[in-house]
Structure 1
Amino acid sequence: MSRQRSAHRRGTLAPDRVSALDELGIDWTPGRGMANVRTERAWQNRLADARQ
């Protein structure tokens, strides 16, 4: 999948392949979702520490 994401970023992934992957719900920007989860988890941990 990383090669498809790279080709998509470069604009070299064939339109039919982009469409097929879009239909599958592919996230073209992976990792950002996990970054949000880590940020939220860290915030919750710091809040819990402050409450103690």
Structure 2
Amino acid sequence: MPQLNPSPWLMILLLSWTIFLFFIPTKVITHIFPNKLIPGAKNTFTKTPWTWPW
């Protein structure tokens, strides 16, 4: 049965796990956010009541 032959599938499995474990996390970790967060800046929104039209 060809499904039990690990020769082609083992290399595909190892290569895909290598990509998932080594290359993708480094790309995610080195991601730079375009906006810097300032912890002291808070936006104050004014709350106005909504008058219902009916």
**Would you say same fold, with TM above 0.5?**
no
Whichever of the two has the greater Rg, that structure is 2
Q: State TM-score, norm by structure 2.
A: 0.35
Q: Give the structure with the higher percent helix.
A: 1
TM-score, with length taken from structure 1: 0.36
Specify which structure has the bigger relative contact order, considering alpha-carbon pairs within 8 angstroms and separated by 6 or more residues. Answer: 1
